[in-house]
Each structure stands twice: as structure tokens, then as C-alpha cells.
Structure 1
Amino acid sequence: MLELDKVSLHLYSEIRQNIIQLRQKIKSAVNSGMIQIYWEIGRQLDLVSNRTETDYGNNILQNVSDKLSKEFGSGFSYSNLRNMRQFYRVYHDFKSLSSSLSWSHYRILMRVADPDARDFYTKECTASGWSVRELERQITTFAYQRTITNQVSKTELPDKYTGNVAVPYKEFIRDPYILEFLDLKSSPEFHEKNIEQGIIDHLQSFILELGRGFSFVARQKHISIDGDDFFIDLVFYNYILKCFVLIDLKLGKVKHQDIGQMQMYVNYYKENMRENGDNEPIGIVLCAEKNDAVVRYTLGDDKNTHIYASKYMPYMPTEEELKNELNLRKLSFDNELENKNE
């Protein structure tokens, strides 16, 4: 009887896996076919309307919509046909489309006016497997802008980070980080450990906010230096950058001691924790308030240590607040460049 149950369970598992894989293939094929049809319809509509929004062109769209809807259903409404036409205009090259993204993904991506930002979200969404809701959050929270404020220039996220090319650490550091999903409540008893626990409880959301390629390694990572014990709040590994990412959480304004402590952690990992093929570790001090001058003077001209201070926002900011925050980051970055060039 036990042997029968064992064989039955094994057979069930194999059949179940085959069904799941087949369903995924069918879903992918259907999605790919739908995207191709919508793109082709958009191309045909664009040729007729000649890229103009005239009454004549709109009347043609309405007439075509009426006939298609009558035969194929509501998916070919006037507004949907306009979306298909816009889809073709935005993604003019069919080869640039990803079969892993749904029509709902593309409808959101089409709203992004900046081609660089749209390209960023398209690539990141494809690589990270974002749901429609996750993609919407990334766009709403200006993930692209929060990433490029740390870069010297706007560069595409390359698919290869190997060889003799300098490791693009700054392309993976955001500022600020938005942690509204933690639902943090300020109180006299509130400490860094509350943020840490919130992150652990919402780890998937936090990794999404960190960006592509991050995987969780440890919390309160214990290290011993000459008999003294230290604990790093959070440790991640980025499989794209091929390096450890150490995070320390600070409730208030970042201090020089915080930067110095993180530098010690990074140096320790650099000497003791790296495996063959690993790049140098990154240190991020995640704080409620930044002081770029303190960071700059604490680190000095040490270009071999990759330490960053990033602000966290415990709530979903308004668009105006985010723009102001990004403007402050850009101004700080420009000042830093001026100081380096003096």
C-alpha cells in the first residue's frame, strides 16, 4: 500500500508539473499573440490616420470600432483602438517588445512620456517580472528619476557587468527610498529595530524597492573584530553587480560616526567575506535625513570604498514632494561635482 501511494504521488507530481508548464506556455503564447495583433492593428490605424488627430481620422476609428466590436466584442472599443495606435507609435520597432509583458503592462508604460524612463521601466519590468501593480508603483514613485540622480550621466542599464568595465554601482542606488509599505508609526518607543522588523515582514516589497538583482542574506549579521562584536542591520547580495550590499538603518540625521562605522563594515567584508569573482561590497546608510557634506568629508578622496547615504521616506509622498526631493538631490550632486573640480 505504501509503495502504491509512493508511485501515485510521484505520478501525480509529474502530471501536475506538466500541466503547470503547459498552461504557462499557452498563456505566454496567447499573450504574445495578443501583443502582436494589437501592434499590427495599431500600425494599420496609424497608416490610415497619418499620425493626425482629425475628425476624419476619428470617424474612421469609430466606424472600424463599431464593426469590430459587433463581431469580436468590447475589446475593440474606440478607446482601445486609440491605445493600439498609440502602442505602435510608442513601440515602433516590434522587436523591442517583450513577450513576457502583458497588454496591461504596455498600457501603463505608454503613459511614460520620457523615452529614457520608459526604456528603463520596460527593461526592469521584464527582467524583474513586475506585476502590473508593481510597475505602476515604480512609475508613481519616480523610480527611474530616483536612480539616475546618483549617476554622472543617463546611461542604459547594460545586460553585462563583467570584463574590464567599471562596476556601475551608482546605477543601483536610489535616493530617496520610499517605504510606505512598512506603515511606520512614530512614537517615543520607536527604534531602528522597528524599521528592521518592518522590512523583514515586508521583505518582498523592500527588495522591489531596492531594485533589480537583490537577494536577502542576513539580518543583524554578527562580525567580530579583534574581540569586539558588531552587528550589521541587513545584508543583501546583488547577483548582477556580484557583490554584497550592507545596510544600516538610522532614525535621525546621518552622522560621521554612522559613515565611519559603515566604512569599517565594508572594509571587513572586502577582506574577509568576498569569494572569487565577487566585486567590492557596497555600504548604504539608510537614514531619515541626509547630510551630503558630512558624507563627503568623512569619506574624503577614498575612491576604493563604495558607501552611500540615502534618505528613506516612511510614507507615499505627493508628486510635488518627490520632485522637490529629487531637485535637492540633483543640486547636492552638482555641488559635489563642483567641489571635486575645484
Structure 2
Amino acid sequence: MNEDTITRNYNDLLDRIAGILASARTKVVREINRTQVLAYWEIGREVVEFKQKGKTRGEYGEHLIERLSKDMTKKFGKGFSERNIEQMRKFYLVYSQKAQTLSAESTNLQKSKTLSWKTKGGKFETVSRKSIIRQTLSNQFEPMLSWSHYCELLKVEETLARSFYEQEAIQNNWSVRELKRQSNSMLFERLALSRNTKAIMKMAEKGQIIEKPEDAIKDPYILEFLNLREETSYTENQLEQALIDKLQYFLLELGKGFTFVARQKRITITNRHYYIDLVFYNRLLKCFVLIDLKTGELDHSDIGQMNFYLNYFKENEKREDENDPIGLILCAKKDDIFAKYVLGGLSNRVFASKYKLALPSERELKLKLKSIPKMLEEKMMNANMVGKIDSRSMID
């Protein structure tokens, strides 16, 4: 066996060992996160139940969390500020509906289970009642995110929106930063506006489901990550370059299934060249997505141009096992009534959406959050009216 073979075999061994260690460390971190979340849920439950007992209200009143914070910090160190303990209490209240506390006498419970905390002095102290983590959460709620993720989710007051962001964070492996960004950009609200009540409920339960072109389109798109000032003039080329420079963020904003294909894609017809700003492929829809950028207001000529691009792609780029391409015109301004008529009746699927260069303000966020229940109520009323009309027409 020559020296090169020995070296190659050794490197293979080293890679396998590194893979084993990396996998083991990932599992350890995941289990630590899970245990931490379960422990904080339990602490929240204890605080809630303690405060609800009449005899303790007068004794500790509003100072319970303050006192707990001081004593727990003294005993266990960082991580038990008043704010954090309040988060644990809120976490229990929000997620207790998803959980069932199992009895300590459950057959699945091992009485020997304990929970150890490291004190400030470096010693480990074991807390053991029947069990601190006593399988309190049923299969309805198995923590899949870190505590930091759940703290971010607790900021979302609307239940449907919170459930949606939780599912999306799990499915797409969002970091806390990505979760915060998507929540602040009102992703759920933007998607919900174009869906019926049933679809909104399904989206809240399972996250964004992409089955048809409409499912992948948002209006508006939030492009705050480009750091372009809204009041400053810029060209379409500058907008395109900014999107390419921040492609990772743009893909996150586009949503599930998108992969980048080309910029300024050239197509040639009778010796004349035409250029499509951006071309993506959506693997869930199995089709190309052509994007045209407009720094001004949507015009009928933009629709004709996109329709032309789509016809070319359908005939020259699409494979037999793929679906027809769809077009998205991203524009700074759009008249919705004009868009309705100019986009109607096309053989190709063309969509027009506005883009915004700044995240919604705190006031806009609050207004949107308050509008969700009202929006659902209106959609349900409209659905009921349609049902009544249909039933009357059948009777007639």
C-alpha cells in the first residue's frame, strides 16, 4: 500500500469521526434546548398556579416575580431576570392550551428523574420533587425551537399569526433573526389578504403551502434589507444590482422553493435581443418565475412585455415535465383597479405586486394585527352570503 493510499484512508477515517462528533453535538444541543424549554414551561406553570391561590395573593402580590428573580439569580446565576421569569409565565399561559399536564404517577414517568442546575459557586444542585420535568407536555406540544425563538413568538399577539410563524420557523429552520424579520414584515398578514378563511386557518396550522402560483405571490414585497431610501431616486438597474447583492435576503422574502437562475437573461428573436431582469425557478411549483422590476407605476405596456417573455419561455425553455412559467412585475406603485382589468383574461399567469423599501411601522403592525379577526369575520360572512345565493339559485 503506497503512501498516497494510506493518507487517503486516514483522511476518510478522520472525516467519518468528525461526522460522528458533529452529529452527536447537534443532538446534544437539540436536547439541551428541548429540556430548557420544558423547564421554563414548568417554571411558568408554577408561577401561574402559585399566584392563583388566594392565600398567596395578599402575601406576595405583584412582588412575586421580583422576589423570585432575586432569589433565583442568587442561587443559579444569570437567566432569571424579572423579564425572563415573566416570559416563562406568559409562555405557559400561551402554550398551556397545546399541552396536557400528565400526572406524576403516570406509568411513563421515572421517579428517579431529576433536574440539575449549576449554582454560581460551581456546584450542581439537584431539584427533585416527583419530577421537575415530569412529562408535562403531551404530543400536542413537543418543543421544536429554542427558547429565544419562543420569546420572539410571544411578541406576536394574534394566535393564528403566531401559529403560522412557529410552523414556518420549524419547517424552514429559521434563525431567531430571520423569524423576527418575517414577523416584523407582516408575512402572515400579507399572505392572508389574498386567501379565503379556510386557507388562512390551514396556513396558520401548517405554515405556507404552495400548490398553485397564487400561493407563492405576496403583495407587497418588503425589501428593507436593500437599505435604499424611499425618497431617493434610483434606477431599475440599481434596484436589480441591490437585489443581487442581497440575494440571500431576497430569496428569504420570495419564500419557499425559489432558486436563482439568471439576471438579465437574454432572449433573441429575429436578431433582436431582449433582457429579462431576473429569472428564478420554483421547485414546488415546477416552473420558471420571471421577474420584471419597475421603479415607477404599473403600466399596460409592462404587462405586454411580460406576456411576451412568458410566451418565449413556454416555447423555448420549459421542459415537458414542467409547468408553464409565471411572471411577477415588482413595481413601486400600483393601482389595484387598473391592475385587475389589465391582468384579467391573459392566457399566461402574470402577477403585479408593489415593493416597499422599509419595514412596516409599529403603528402599521398594530393596525394589521387588529384587522386579522375582523378580516376573518368578513371573509366568513362573504362565504356564507355566497352559500345562501347558491342555495337559492338551486331552489329556483
Gaps of 5+ in 1: none
Q: Percent identity?
A: 41
CA distance in 2 between counterparts of 1:22 and 1:199 reads 38
Specify the alignment match of 1:133 in structure 2.
177
* 1:195-231 deviations in Å (ceiling 9; x for gaps): 1221111111111111233222222223345665433
Residue identity opposite 1:72 in structure 2: F
CA distance in 1 between counterparts of 2:212 and 2:63 reads 51
Q: In structure 2, the residue corresponding to 1:22 is in which secondary structure?
A: helix
Specify the alignment match of 1:184 in structure 2.
228
Task: Judge conservation of contact 1:48–1:57 (CA < 8 Å) in 2.
Answer: no
CA distance in 1 between counterparts of 2:162 and 2:190 reads 14
Aligned pair in 2 of structure 1 residues 189, 314: CA closer, same or farther (>3 Å)? closer
Matches within 5 A, 1:272-291: 272-275=316-319, 278-291=322-335
CA distance in 1 between counterparts of 2:63 and 2:36 reads 25
How many positions carry a matched residue from both structures? Answer: 326
Task: Judge conservation of contact 2:168–2:207 (CA < 8 Å) in 1.
Answer: no
* 1:14-69 deviations in Å (ceiling 9; x for gaps): 22222222211111111111111111222232222239996645444445444433
State the TM-score, normalized to the length of structure 2.
Answer: 0.71
Q: By how many angstroms is 1:273 displaced?
A: 4.0
Specify the alignment match of 1:259 in structure 2.
303
Specify the alignment match of 1:318 in structure 2.
361
Q: By how many angstroms is 1:320 displaced?
A: 4.3
Q: In structure 2, the residue corresponding to 1:76 is in which secondary structure?
A: coil
State the TM-score, normalized to the length of structure 1.
Answer: 0.81
- 1:211 equivalent to 2:255? Answer yes
Looking at both structures, which has the greater relative contact order when contacts are Cα pairs under 8 Å and sequence separation is at least 6? 1
Aligned pair in 2 of structure 1 residues 110, 190: CA closer, same or farther (>3 Å)? closer
CA distance in 2 between counterparts of 1:160 and 1:133 reads 19
Q: In structure 2, the residue corresponding to 1:39 is in which secondary structure?
A: helix
CA distance in 1 between counterparts of 2:180 and 2:53 reads 28
- 1:87 equivalent to 2:91? Answer yes
Bigger mean CA offset, 205-214 vs 258-267:
258-267
CA distance in 1 between counterparts of 2:53 and 2:269 reads 67
Task: Judge conservation of contact 1:151–1:170 (CA < 8 Å) in 2.
Answer: no
Specify the alignment match of 1:19 in structure 2.
21
Q: By how many angstroms is 1:131 displaced?
A: 1.4
CA distance in 1 between counterparts of 2:169 and 2:279 reads 24
CA distance in 1 between counterparts of 2:342 and 2:300 reads 6
CA distance in 2 between counterparts of 1:189 and 1:159 reads 37
From the CA coordinates, give the structure whose radius of gyration is larger. Answer: 2
Residue identity opposite 2:290 in structure 1: L
Aligned pair in 2 of structure 1 residues 61, 203: CA closer, same or farther (>3 Å)? same
Residue identity opposite 2:361 in structure 1: T
Please, what is the CA RMSD of the aligned residues?
3.5
Specify the alignment match of 1:102 in structure 2.
146
Matching residue within 163, 171, 174 for 2:218: 174
Residue identity opposite 1:81 in structure 2: I
Gaps of 5+ in 2: 100-138, 387-396
Residue identity opposite 1:287 in structure 2: C
Specify the alignment match of 2:103 in structure 1.
none
